[in-house]
Structure 1
């Protein structure tokens, strides 16, 4: 897998309306339950890249295994996952998207059907400062693919920030705006073959 995919791919954060803050550390079962109950989500995002530049766009999530990032101009890229694959569409390319197994990205850890952060070697760190809980998660069988830091508030449990660190130590952070959960999202949003046909690659 090309190492450049992780910083380009994105790390994303999710926030929902009604911020709840509590001076407590969330347990791993609480966080696992939150992720497993999160079926769909959509909203805007601001991505902080490793070099300090910013990108904005829209994010769509449909668990398990599906996510879509639509980048605004001037970037206008599209990153989408579905059917076990992750595809990166570059508007400047005329050869189709770069495609990778979703299982080779840190996103796979939290897009699985059943997330169990209590599994051995999945969580490499968990800290709280009294208002937020930060959990660092990796694929226990493939730590070389990088990790994700998840930052949560409590009461109710809400994910506020998501940072992906790649195998070279590069970090990308994404913060979402006006994220809504539970609304229906069509499967076509995550169909890589359909997107390729729409762009004239098939």
Structure 2
């Protein structure tokens, strides 16, 4: 087989691979539309913490503005976002949750009522490997709040994982397992005051 023929085969193969990769890359408009129609979802998650430790649990999403992370033992902690607040319940504490404004965390980007990743300076990087599209986004008005790196697959479009980088540069990775969209999720799951009463805070 001649070197010329091998070169032609290699060129065709590279062209086909490039076409396939391009076909799988999602646009920012497609991703924004997917997030905006994702009203409710629930599933499992594995979290890689900034110190390298692992946590697992269940996640509940009810957009806009609400998310719940229930951590399995031995952590048994809880993170709730609701009413513009992010509350972190430590199972070892009886002094109530730590609270932060949700809009000062990168999670607010995917929980806002109208996600528009095409907004100027919101997306800082987009990478595709032909199978997944990874988008790094930040609050364009407050980039010091940190960023979120989201990984999506196509056909159908699905959010697979994200990496939150906080204002100090610490990274937390959340890998989603069997996320089911369109679930019926009770509002009480996102009620911070009710959770405080349940925990005797």
Q: Shorter-chain TM-score: which interval?
A: 0.7 to 0.9
* 5+ residue gaps, structure 1: 1-20
Find the counterpart in structure 2 of residue 38 from structure 1: 38
Find the counterpart in structure 2 of residue 150 from structure 1: 150
TM-score, length-scaled by structure 2: 0.87
1:93 and 2:93 equivalent? yes
Find the counterpart in structure 2 of residue 3 from structure 1: none
Are 2:123 and 2:137, in contact at CA under 8 Å, matched by a contact in 1?
A: yes
- Structure (1/2) with the larger helix percentage: 2
Find the counterpart in structure 1 of residue 128 from structure 2: 128
Indicate the structure (1 or 2) with the bigger Cα radius of gyration.
Answer: 2
Find the counterpart in structure 1 of residue 50 from structure 2: 50
Are 2:94 and 2:200, in contact at CA under 8 Å, matched by a contact in 1?
A: no
CA offsets per residue over residues 175-201 of structure 1, 9 Å max, x none?
A: 121221101101100010111111122
Distance (whole Å) between structure 2 residues aligned to residue 137 and residue 147 of structure 1? 6
TM-superposed deviation, 1:22:
8.1
* 5+ residue gaps, structure 2: 1-20
Find the counterpart in structure 1 of residue 3 from structure 2: none
Distance (whole Å) between structure 2 residues aligned to residue 47 and residue 147 of structure 1? 17
Moved over 4 A (4+): none
Distance (whole Å) between structure 2 residues aligned to residue 78 and residue 137 of structure 1? 25
Distance (whole Å) between structure 2 residues aligned to residue 123 and residue 109 of structure 1? 11
Distance (whole Å) between structure 1 residues aligned to residue 125 and residue 166 of structure 2? 16
Are 1:22 and 1:155, in contact at CA under 8 Å, matched by a contact in 2?
A: no
Distance (whole Å) between structure 2 residues aligned to residue 177 and residue 84 of structure 1? 26
Distance (whole Å) between structure 2 residues aligned to residue 70 and residue 131 of structure 1? 30
Question: RMSD across aligned C-alpha pairs, in angstroms?
Answer: 1.3
Distance (whole Å) between structure 2 residues aligned to residue 119 and residue 134 of structure 1? 17
Distance (whole Å) between structure 2 residues aligned to residue 166 and residue 112 of structure 1? 18
* Larger relative contact order, structure 1 or 2 (CA cutoff 8 Å, min sep 6): 1
CA offsets per residue over residues 151-178 of structure 1, 9 Å max, x none?
A: 1111111111111111222111111212
Find the counterpart in structure 1 of residue 104 from structure 2: 104
1:56/1:22 CA distance change after superposition, 3 Å: farther
1:177 and 2:159 equivalent? no
TM-superposed deviation, 1:129:
1.5
Distance (whole Å) between structure 2 residues aligned to residue 105 and residue 87 of structure 1? 12
